[in-house]
Amino acid sequence: MRADPYTDYLARFQERIGAVAVGGYGKWKGKLVRKLNPAEFAIKHDEFEKLRLHYEKILERGDTLNDALTKLLRERAAELLIDYQ
């Protein structure tokens, strides 16, 4: 059985930032992050997964990385409190 990504996100938020209401803000790794509701999370998580897969395929092929892709991937990871790279 696969874990629920939103439940994992809520656990990460609680662990890394603390008790914040949905829609509220907290600081993580020097960035201000907003606690997402399930619908917002689903959109951001889907975008992160697509970017991550694209990024990993680029690395596998040895292609040149686009700085904008790297920046966007890091932004999405931060919004989801995911340690990536």
pLDDT one digit per residue (tens) for the chain, 85 residues: 458 999 999 999 999 999 999 999 999 999 999 999 999 999 999 999 999 999 999 999 998 888 899 999 999 999 999 997 6
Residue 41 is predicted with a pLDDT of 98
Residue 51 lies in a domain: yes
Domain coverage including residue 39: 5-79
Q: What angle do CA 27, 6, 68 make, to 5 degrees?
A: 60
Residue 2 is predicted with a pLDDT of 58
Give the span between the Cα atoms of 44 and 48, in whole angstroms: 6
Nearest alpha carbon to residue 71 among 50, 49, 59, 55: 55
Q: Which amino acid is at 24?
A: G
Residue 1 is predicted with a pLDDT of 47
Tokens of 47: 């975008």
Query: Total structural domains in the chain?
Result: 1
Helix (H) / strand (E) element for 54: namely: helix 38-61
The whole-model pTM stands at 0.84
Residue 84 lies in a domain: no
Residue 51: alpha-carbon gap to chain centroid: 10
